[in-house]
Amino acid sequence: MRRAGAILTLLLVSGPVAGCGAHSPAAAPGHRHESPAPIVSTAPAATPAAGFNTTDTAWLQLMIPMDERTLPLLDLGAERGHDPAVRRLAARIRKAHLAELERLRETLGRTGLPATNVHEGHDMPGMATAADLAALRKATGPAFDRLFADRLREHLDQSAAVARSEQAAGADEGTRALAAAVERTRAAQRDLLDGIR
């Protein structure tokens, strides 16, 4: 969990495109950046609307791709879970993630910043990678369920950690409240996941 908080902190210090985005080399499949390196950009930085600070915007710009990249994982769990409880849980969490994504995108829209994915092409902690998905597609039976649960748990833990960072350092009251809701949801989802493991 410290890893996710450290990544969000580094993103705040270095700017929202640090270590990610169109200006950095693409990561190898399955590679997760542990500490993104700062990137020097000559493009003018977009300024968020009044009331938002860099923590708010960095959190939103990280959470959206974290959730988006989890949807294919949840699709696989709902379709291929060996245990019916795994399939039900994946479908339930997928529905919750879609609703959460809508709120995250609406909040990012309030910042006045573009909806550009500044983490495009990069595997950050808590994001399902191409290698993760490929391994799941090959797995069957209880082995599939274990691998699915491990990847989902990583996402739940990492997204809860960055939600705590937003609550601690964000400026916008609505964004902090959304982060608190995300953290509560992740705790409930972890409990459900633990119940089927």
Q: Is the pTM of this model over 0.95?
A: no
Number of domains in the chain: 1
What does the pLDDT look like over 174-197, one tens digit per residue? 999 999 999 999 999 999 999 987
20 inside domain: no
Q: Which domain holds residue 161?
A: 2-15+49-116+126-196
**Residue 37, in any domain of the structure:** no
Give pLDDT, residue 8.
54
> Would you say residue 110 lies in a domain?
yes
Q: What is the pLDDT of residue 46?
A: 61
Is 101 a residue whose pLDDT tops 50?
yes
**3-43, pLDDT tens digit by residue?**
444 445 445 433 333 334 332 333 333 434 333 322 222 23
pLDDT, position 158: 96
Question: Would the pLDDT of 1 be above 70?
Answer: no
**Res 119: pLDDT:** 72
- Per the domain annotation, does 23 fall within a domain? no
Is it the case that residue 130 has pLDDT exceeding 80?
yes
More confident residue, 172 or 25: 172
Q: Please indicate, yes or no, if residue 153 is contained in any of the structural domains.
A: yes
* Average pLDDT, integer, range 143-148: 98
Residue 179 lies in a domain: yes
Q: Cα(127)–Cα(117) distance, rounded to whole angstroms?
A: 13
**pLDDT score at 48:** 66
pLDDT at 12 (0 to 100)? 45
Query: pLDDT for 55-94, tens place per residue?
Result: 999 999 999 999 999 999 999 999 999 999 999 999 999 9
Burial readout 73-109 (b: 16 or more C-beta within 10 A, e: otherwise): bbebbbebbbbeebbebbbebbebbeebbeebeebbe
Percent of the chain with pLDDT over 70: 75
Report the CATH number at residue 11.
Answer: 1.20.1260.10
Query: Is residue 133 in some structural domain?
Result: yes
Model confidence pLDDT, tens digit, residues 33-63: 333 322 222 233 466 677 899 999 999 999 9
Q: Is residue 187 part of a domain?
A: yes
